[in-house]
């Protein structure tokens, strides 16, 4: 084993405590019941919860009406002393409680603003439109309520030093600090998503039985982990993330925020995503994405399909491949989400 073969060698030699091997649905459900709390501990949710959860109170900052929706800006204290900014987009008209779509974002200085369609320059607008990155805006135009939060380490949640330097993110420092306390940046971002769900399901205009999550890149990361540990999420659509740990973050240079210590001792990415079964799962990938190689995406997807097959839920697990690189591909997303919500409502 040398520096070039380190990950490959250890991946082959390291037993995965929760590597999927169930042959029946009963066994698969027992596997999930054991794996889910272990994964929550591994990403640091127990350490975060130990500080206590603040009262569920959000503050409305401003409300603006667009031609086809209302954009509210809020803050929510998700952890003692930490206030999470987020946008809530509402359709102008609805016939009752609407499904909810959570849209965590990835790396970038604009954060949630991109996802609601707000650009600060022509270059920003062009990048947003070409990469179909206005995901929350897409969701509200489909008739859903959408929540677009800032994610820790990005945009306005960078440290002051990185903001003053106009740096893209504060991930490295925040991840290193989190590790000192048995936490991870993935876990902190997932925690924020869970608290947003707690808050949103109290609203009369939200259908708490129809919740989806979708985001690109780092937002895809949080989509997978949040849906894996929180069964309230009925539909998970990660974009430009689902792959194998070995061939993506273990083989390609990635930001420190992607790493969960010991994750490969628990399971590969298909095992983590297997915690979502039999709920609806659509992986969206770019055929030429250099960060998440398509061959490994397809391998992980085939492994995940086997898990879904044990749950007799083959139709709920899909892969959509866009003919491009590291970006969002909306082509199959909203038809998949609509179908999943429709099936859920008919149960």
Report pTM. 0.97
CB atoms within 10 A of CB 252: 14
3-state secondary structure of 135: helix
Q: What is the DSSP letter of 140?
A: H
- Please give the Cα distance from 19 to 21 (Å, whole number): 6
CATH code 3.40.50.1820 for 6-346: yes
Per-residue confidence (pLDDT) for residue 37, from 0 to 100: 98
CB atoms within 10 A of CB 335: 13
Instruction: Indicate the pairing of strand 82-91 with strand 145-149.
Output: antiparallel
- Please give the Cα distance from 110 to 87 (Å, whole number): 13
- Please give the Cα distance from 227 to 273 (Å, whole number): 8
Backbone angles phi, psi at 231, to 5 degrees: -75, -5
* Cα Dmax for the chain: 61
- Please give the Cα distance from 211 to 201 (Å, whole number): 9
3-state secondary structure of 120: coil
Domain locations along the chain: 6-346
Q: How many CA atoms lie within 13 A of 248 on its CB side?
A: 30
Contacts of 211 (CB under 8 A, 6+ apart): 99, 100, 101, 102, 197, 200, 201, 232, 233, 234, 235
- Please give the Cα distance from 225 to 238 (Å, whole number): 10
Q: Are 190 and 196 in contact (CB under 8 A)?
A: no
Per-residue confidence (pLDDT) for residue 34, from 0 to 100: 98
Strands (E), the chain: 58-65, 69-79, 82-91, 98-102, 145-149, 206-216, 235-239, 280-286, 317-322
Cis bond leading into 90, ω under 30°?
no
Q: Are 152 and 188 in contact (CB under 8 A)?
A: yes
**Which stretches of the chain score pLDDT less than 50?**
346
Q: Are 205 and 216 in contact (CB under 8 A)?
A: no
- Please give the Cα distance from 41 to 228 (Å, whole number): 13
Reported as type and span, the H/E element at residue 138 is helix 135-141
Q: What angle do CA 192, 196, 197 make, to 5 degrees?
A: 120
The CA-atom distances, in angstroms, between 339 and each of 34, 99, 186, 198 are 30, 12, 29, 25
């Amino acid at each position: 084993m040398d520096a070039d073969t380190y990950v490959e060698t250890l991946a082959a030699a390291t037993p995965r405590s929760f590597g999927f091997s169930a042959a029946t649905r009963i066994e698969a459900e027992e596997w999930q019941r054991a794996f889910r709390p272990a994964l929550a501990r591994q990403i640091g949710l127990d350490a975060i919860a130990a500080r206590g959860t603040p009262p569920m109170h959000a503050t409305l900052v401003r409300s603006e009406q667009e031609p086809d929706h209302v954009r509210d800006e809020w803050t929510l204290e998700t952890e003692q002393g930490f206030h999470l900014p987020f946008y809530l987009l509402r359709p102008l008209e609805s016939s009752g409680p609407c499904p909810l779509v959570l849209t965590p974002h990835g790396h970038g200085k604009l954060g949630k603003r991109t996802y609601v369609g707000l650009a600060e320059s022509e270059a920003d607008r062009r990048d947003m439109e070409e990469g179909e990155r206005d995901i929350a805006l897409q969701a509200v135009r489909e008739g859903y309520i959408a929540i677009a939060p800032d994610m820790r380490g990005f945009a306005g949640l960078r440290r002051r030093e990185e903001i003053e330097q106009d740096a893209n993110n504060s991930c490295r420092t925040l991840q290193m600090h989190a590790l000192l306390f048995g936490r991870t940046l993935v876990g902190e971002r997932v925690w924020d998503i869970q608290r947003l769900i707690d808050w949103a399901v109290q609203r009369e205009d939200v259908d708490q039985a129809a919740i989806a999550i979708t985001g690109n890149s780092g937002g895809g990361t949080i989509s997978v982990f949040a849906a894996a540990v929180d069964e309230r999420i009925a539909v998970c659509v990660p974009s430009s993330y689902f792959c194998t740990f070995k061939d993506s973050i273990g083989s390609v240079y990635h930001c420190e925020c992607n790493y969960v210590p010991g994750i490969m001792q628990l399971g590969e990415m298909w095992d983590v995503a297997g915690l979502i079964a039999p709920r609806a799962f659509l992986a969206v990938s770019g055929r030429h994405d250099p960060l998440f190689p398509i061959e490994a995406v397809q391998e992980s997807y085939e492994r995940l399909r086997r898990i879904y097959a044990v749950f007799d839920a083959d139709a709920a697990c899909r892969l959509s491949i866009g003919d491009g690189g590291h970006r969002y591909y909306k082509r199959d997303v909203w038809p998949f989400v609509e179908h999943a919500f429709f099936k859920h409502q008919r149960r």
